[in-house]
Chains A and B, each alone.
Chain A
Amino acid sequence: MVRRKYRSQAGIVLDILEALASEGPMPATRLTYYANLPYDRLKIILESLVEEGLVERDENRYYRITDKGLEALKTLRETRKLLESMGFRL
């Protein structure tokens, strides 16, 4: 059996929101470390998170998590247990 490791879009979003919630505002370049993603791919996801109102960008190009983002993070943390129990990796 071929065993491959997958990382879901949900897992990436969870990593980004958790990093911003625990480490505070940071630029995209530093977020690449926490999200474990290349810069160009991270930027695409960050833009969609900004559009959804989960993350905002200030004038110094630092990203910070919004109240809506904190609510979303809480939901994702709750769902993580359920998804992991079904074999999905976040």
Chain B
Amino acid sequence: MTHSVLPMPRGDQRLIWAAAAVGVGLAILPFVGSALVVDKLTYLFILIMFATMWNLLAGYAGLVSVGQQAFVGLGGYAMVRMVDAGLPPFPAIFIAALCTGVVAWVLSWFVLRMKAGEFAIATWVIAEAIRAMVSFDPIIQGETGTSVTALNAYAPEMRRLTIYLLALATAALMLWASWKLLQGRTGAQAQAIRDDEEAAASVGISTFQVKQRIYILASIGCAVAGTLWLASAITFQPRTSFGVQWSVFMLFMVLVGGIGTFIGPILGAVLFFALQEIFGDFGAWYLAGVGIVAILFALYLPNGIVGLWLDKGRDEPLSMRKRLQVKE
């Protein structure tokens, strides 16, 4: 009896072509669209990056972190420091994120040895500790924060367009990279660890290395998204950049879209973005509503929007599961 892996379903292929077409359309859009649309879409791309990265961590590797804001803030801080040292801001966005990856590598030796609940809390406390340490830096001026004034050297239209295209390209790259990663060996290993760590270890997966790889990648991803956000917001404040709200947003988008699915976080990000556009003016009551929606999804629809689709007996779109055909 032999088996072979079935090719990608027809529907998935169409979906990928459609996504590519949307990507090309979005790349042309800033040359015709208004400045407001460009700014909003930049934010949407950043949200998609956050959601994809958190899903990689929690959905595929089972690492439920409440401390990803550590990397959002650290990336921003590294960028502020680099621009202050004379580096041009746009390369600094990416170099800062890579530096954050080094910090994540160091932290991973500590946090990845923890059990689930400890991991969630410890990552949060580490983010708070890093925030406190960053606030000591005189350049940050404590809670006041500082601005990446070097960005003002560029013309506003030029800056807006560059950040938009960078965000679009990075989001596309991140989706492609996580697709490749999850389709490959690491993805299968990570899902095995998520489902049962001891069983995964018993079939020869070096669980620590796989978790470490995903943890560092997700941290760099969050740092890139964070620095891009900082580049569009310009002001760096420790309380905002290291705020736990980043992790809450990531969690909300992934949960509502469908945790552990490839397409879920993207849907979640789009939905969260739409909610913010429609109800954002209600301020605190809007955020309270977001909290209630999160409770309802967690209790009654834990597989999110994609779960609704699956409940009808349909296949998961863009699934990371391999489909095998058995031959007699």
Do A and B come together as binding partners?
Answer: no
Interface residue ranges, A against B (CB under 8 Å)? none
